[in-house]
Structure 1
Amino acid sequence: MSGKREAPDLPEPLAPIIDAHTHLDACGATDAASTAVVLDRAASVGVGQVVTVADDQAAAQWAVRAAHWDQRVYAAVALHPTRANALDEAAKIELERLAADSRVVAVGETGLDYYWPGKLEGCAEVETQIEGFRWHIDLAKRLDKPLMIHNREADHDLLTVLLDEGAPKTVIFHCFSSDATMALSCVAEGYILSFSGTVSFKNARELHEAAKLVPREQILVETDAPYLTPHPFRGAPNEPYCLPYTVRALAALREEDPEELAKITTANARRVYGI
């Protein structure tokens, strides 16, 4: 595509890191061989395992296949909140089947997205999103698997639904992008906050303050690749191998050693996902 930025250079390796949320299929992986290429590139800088995440039914099926192709891959399955209008009975049956797979470590990404309704054609309306979110919460509890949340401009309602339904034992806020007040509310409930490349963006001042407040045992790191490429590569394609850039940016904000933060987030990911 004309004008598209080149892929970032390989970063300096860090201690083994786990990418807590990525989309390998959207990074161009299509089969076992192309998946291995992406994973090998990540492994060369210390990113040894990834959780590849679904946002629709086809992506959920693909994620489970990928997790069986390569032992470095784990899967999370759900319908993205903007696609909650596709959660009919057939979809529920298929998602339940997929979510029960031994290689699936979370139900997600689900949650609420108040940015896209009215802007994106076919986007699920708010009430439909809430109904779908409630169903995914119940599924996570029935399977005793973590709930992986997508939250965009819906802080209050998201916490309200979790309180109303009763949250699963483990709740992960993927790509946490809210402010310090929301971070403290989540921390108080024992939720896990996962930080992506957005934490490296110079203008994300409220997020910077939030990132400083999260206890070590409640923090993860992710790429959300191919989206949200960290500074100074915004606009370039993202991949799991870019995760060390985010870890270093987060460590600088928290005034921590990057190697130590890599070890902490890896230990947390192993505990949270049971891997």
Structure 2
Amino acid sequence: MSKGYETGHHGDRPAAPDRLPLAVVDNHTHLDIARDGGPLPDVRQVIDEAVAVGVDRMVQIGCDLDGARFTAKVVDEHPELLGGVAIHPNEAPRLHDAGRLQEAWDEIEQIASHPRIRVIGETGLDYFRTGPEGVAAQQDSFRWHIDLAKRSGKALQIHDRDSHEDVLRILSEEGAPDQTVLHCFSGDIEMARECIQRGYFLSFAGTVTFKNARSLRNALSITPLEQVLVETDAPYLTPSPHRGATNAPYLVPLTVRAMAGVLNVDVPSLCRAISDNSERVFGPW
């Protein structure tokens, strides 16, 4: 979910960008989340609008129990969707304090057995919204999700906010799954080098297009094509020039074209890499 970069008017509805030359995957979106108390998105409309601009596959991420149940339902109804489920790091301390964390893990594990749920995530650490009193529960939950991803043979998607060192340390201690994705990558060039060396995938959201995100573009610039993914994190993190508006998968082409410029590759080559990488991580749709 959003890392807090928002500005602007959330009710704006950006026009559809030009269609991409080759189809890509939005590997992290939240179709169960509405902005500012508004209505939930119409899932079929969201998919159709994305497909029209070359975003023909999406990964719906449910990061609490309600979201996980929603995800299991929509991936059965829409062949363009695969799913991911987890207890978000900001949820883990609340559930722990209520004595319900193990119960929540048990349900996540059951939902994750669905064959179209291909991701355990988003899990990880968030030291921005949760204070020191929640760190232990977050780290325990992160370790549990890493274990589930390995036991189930599914990809791991990681939320990392203000917690780079501990995320990398725990992945090293536990042993990362074969397919590990840093969702909405927010580290600097040194963290990118470490993740690349370990074989992780770096997923870039609309934040990479923001004027003040030079360090993020530097990180992208050294990322090999075979380790690059793209996402929206919708309804948050809308790419420029629509920063602050409600995001949706149909806006992925804006981020892809900006990424191609940073990587100094042509757009079709980047599209092909994103598509191939996505199917390596998540399997065929």
Same fold (TM over 0.5): yes
The C-alpha deviation readout for 1:54-93, integer Å capped at 9, x for no partner, is 1101101101111001000110000110111226222121
Say whether 1:19 aligns with 2:32. Answer: no
Q: How does 1:137-148 map to 2 (within 5 A)?
A: 137-148=146-157
Q: Which runs of 5+ in 2 are unaligned?
A: 1-7
Q: Amino acid of the residue matched to residue 171 of structure 2?
A: L
Q: CA deviation at 1:180?
A: 0.2
Measure the CA separation in 1 of the matches of 2:242 and 2:217: 18
Q: CA deviation at 1:153?
A: 1.0
Please point out which of 233, 238, 244 is paired with 2:247.
Answer: 238
Report the 3-state secondary structure (helix = DSSP H, G, I; strand = E; otherwise coil) of the residue aligned with 1:26.
coil
Name the structure 2 match of 1:101: 114
The C-alpha deviation readout for 1:132-173, integer Å capped at 9, x for no partner, is 000001100110111100000111111110111111111100
Measure the CA separation in 2 of the matches of 1:64 and 1:246: 28
Please point out which of 59, 62, 66 is paired with 2:67.
Answer: 59
Measure the CA separation in 2 of the matches of 1:111 and 1:72: 26
Say whether 1:71 aligns with 2:96. Answer: no
Name the structure 2 match of 1:212: 221
Say whether 1:81 aligns with 2:89. Answer: yes
Name the structure 2 match of 1:45: 53
Report the 3-state secondary structure (helix = DSSP H, G, I; strand = E; otherwise coil) of the residue aligned with 2:91.
helix
Name the structure 2 match of 1:111: 124
Q: CA deviation at 1:259?
A: 2.0
Question: Could you tell me whether the CA contact under 8 Å between 1:23 and 1:53 is conserved in 2?
Answer: yes
The alignment's TM-score, normalised by the length of structure 1, stands at 0.94
Question: Could you tell me whether the CA contact under 8 Å between 2:65 and 2:108 is conserved in 1?
Answer: yes
Question: Could you tell me whether the CA contact under 8 Å between 1:81 and 1:124 is conserved in 2?
Answer: no
The worse-fitting range, judged by mean Cα deviation, of 20-29 and 160-169 is 20-29
Q: CA deviation at 1:29?
A: 4.7
Q: Amino acid of the residue matched to residue 116 of structure 1?
A: R
Measure the CA separation in 1 of the matches of 2:101 and 2:10: 38
Q: Amino acid of the residue matched to residue 189 of structure 1?
A: R
Measured at CA, do residues 141 and 40 of structure 1 come closer, stay the same or move farther in structure 2, by a change above 3 Å?
same
Report the 3-state secondary structure (helix = DSSP H, G, I; strand = E; otherwise coil) of the residue aligned with 1:125.
helix
Q: Amino acid of the residue matched to residue 183 of structure 1?
A: A
Question: Could you tell me whether the CA contact under 8 Å between 1:82 and 1:124 is conserved in 2?
Answer: no
Please point out which of 244, 250, 265 is paired with 2:259.
Answer: 250
